[in-house]
Structure 1
Amino acid sequence: MADKQKRKRIPVLPWMRSPVDVSLIEECPLEILPMLDHRLKAALQNMGISSLFPVQLAVWQEAIGPGSFDRDLCINSPTGSGKTLAYALPIVQMLSSRTVKCLRALVVLPTRDLALQVKEVFSAIAPAVGLSVGLAVGQSSIADEISELIKRPKLEAGICYDPDDFLVELQSSVDILVATPGRLMDHINFTKGFTLQHLRYLVIDETDRLLREAYQSWLPTVLQLTHADDSSIIFPSYISNPCSDGSLKTIRRFGVERGFKGKPYPRLAKMVLSATLTQDPGKLAQLDLHHPLFLTTGKRRYKLPEKLESYMMICESKLKPLYLVALLQSLGEEKCIVFTSSVESTHRLCSLLNFFEDLELKIKEYSGLQRQSLRSKTLNAFRGGEIQVLVSSDAMTRGMDVEGVKNVINYDMPAFIKTYIHRAGRTARAGQSGRCFTLLRKDEVKRFKKLLQKADNDSCPVHNLPSSSIEFLQPTYVSALEKLKEKVESETSRKSTITSSSRAGKQKDRNSSKAKT
Structure 2
Amino acid sequence: MEEASEHNKKQSVPVLPWMRSPIDVTLFHECPLNLLPFLDPRLEVALENMGFTSLFPVQVAVWQETIGPGSCERDLCINSPTGSGKTLAYALPIVQMLSTRAVRCLRALVVLPTRDLAVQVKEVFAAIAPAVGLSVGLAVGQSSIADEISELIKRPKLEAGICYDPEDILLDLESSVDILVATPGRLMDHINSTKGFTLEHLCYLVVDETDRLLREAYQSWLPTVLQLIHSSVGSLFPHANTFFSSPFGSLKTIRRSGVERGFKGKSYPRLVKMVLSATLTQDPGKLSQLDLHHPLLLTTGQRRYQLPEQLESFKLICESKLKPLYLVALLQTLQGEKCIVFTSSVESTHRLCTLLNFFGDLQIKIKEYSGLQRQFVRSKTLKAFRAGEIEVLVSSDAMTRGMDVEGVRNVINYDVPAYIKTYIHRAGRTARAGQAGRCFTLLRKEEVKRFKKLLQKADNNSCPVYSVPSDSIESFRSTYTSALEKLKESVKSETYRKHKFKFKSSGMVKGKEKNSKV
- Normalising by structure 1, report the TM-score: 0.90
Aligned partner of residue 406 in structure 2, secondary structure: coil
**Change in 2 beyond 3 A, CA 1:425/1:163:** same
Q: 1:417 aligns with which of 416, 420, 430?
A: 420
What does residue 465 of structure 2 align with? 462
Q: 1:449 aligns with which of 452, 455, 459?
A: 452
- Would you say the 8 A contact 1:76–1:296 is kept in 2? yes
- Would you say the 8 A contact 2:242–2:269 is kept in 1? no
Which amino acid counterpart does residue 377 of structure 1 have in structure 2? K
- Would you say the 8 A contact 1:74–1:293 is kept in 2? yes
Deviation of the 1:374 alpha carbon = 0.3
CA–CA distance in 1 between the matches of 2:357 and 2:411?
A: 19
**Change in 2 beyond 3 A, CA 1:55/1:494:** same
Deviation of the 1:499 alpha carbon = 2.2
1:279 aligns with 2:264: no
5+ residue gaps, structure 1, are 236-255, 509-517
- Would you say the 8 A contact 2:242–2:254 is kept in 1? no
What does residue 247 of structure 1 align with? none
Equivalent residue runs for 1:386-401 within 5 Å: 386-401=389-404
CA–CA distance in 1 between the matches of 2:62 and 2:120?
A: 20
1:259 aligns with 2:244: yes
Which amino acid counterpart does residue 320 of structure 1 have in structure 2? K
Aligned partner of residue 244 in structure 2, secondary structure: coil
CA–CA distance in 2 between the matches of 1:156 and 1:94?
A: 37
Q: Residue by residue, what CA displacement relative to the aligned partner does 1:120-151 show, whole Å, maximum 9, x if unpaired?
A: 00000000000000000000000000000001
CA–CA distance in 2 between the matches of 1:91 and 1:366?
A: 32
What does residue 375 of structure 2 align with? 372
Equivalent residue runs for 1:182-201 within 5 Å: 182-201=185-204
What does residue 74 of structure 1 align with? 77
CA–CA distance in 2 between the matches of 1:308 and 1:370?
A: 30
What does residue 67 of structure 2 align with? 64
What does residue 408 of structure 2 align with? 405
Q: 1:175 aligns with which of 161, 178, 189?
A: 178
What does residue 308 of structure 1 align with? 311
Aligned partner of residue 426 in structure 1, secondary structure: coil
What does residue 94 of structure 1 align with? 97
CA–CA distance in 2 between the matches of 1:369 and 1:7?
A: 34
**Change in 2 beyond 3 A, CA 1:104/1:167:** farther
What does residue 264 of structure 2 align with? none
Deviation of the 1:257 alpha carbon = 6.7
Q: 1:384 aligns with which of 379, 384, 387?
A: 387
Deviation of the 1:492 alpha carbon = 1.1
Equivalent residue runs for 1:86-235 within 5 Å: 86-154=89-157, 162-166=165-169, 168-228=171-231, 232-233=235-236
5+ residue gaps, structure 2, are 1-7, 247-252, 256-267, 512-518
Q: 2:361 aligns with which of 358, 363, 374?
A: 358
CA–CA distance in 1 between the matches of 2:233 and 2:97?
A: 23
Which amino acid counterpart does residue 472 of structure 1 have in structure 2? S
What does residue 246 of structure 1 align with? none
CA–CA distance in 1 between the matches of 2:162 and 2:271?
A: 36
What does residue 292 of structure 2 align with? 289
Between the two proteins, what is the percent identity of the paired residues?
Answer: 79
What does residue 511 of structure 1 align with? none
CA–CA distance in 1 between the matches of 2:215 and 2:485?
A: 41
- Would you say the 8 A contact 1:166–1:193 is kept in 2? no
CA–CA distance in 2 between the matches of 1:370 and 1:6?
A: 36
CA–CA distance in 2 between the matches of 1:72 and 1:340?
A: 36
Q: Residue by residue, what CA displacement relative to the aligned partner does 1:354-377 show, whole Å, maximum 9, x if unpaired?
A: 000110000001000000000000
- Normalising by structure 2, report the TM-score: 0.90
CA–CA distance in 1 between the matches of 2:41 and 2:487?
A: 57
**Change in 2 beyond 3 A, CA 1:346/1:158:** closer
Which amino acid counterpart does residue 474 of structure 2 have in structure 1? E
CA–CA distance in 1 between the matches of 2:161 and 2:396?
A: 59
Aligned partner of residue 399 in structure 1, secondary structure: coil
CA–CA distance in 2 between the matches of 1:166 and 1:212?
A: 40
**Change in 2 beyond 3 A, CA 1:128/1:6:** closer
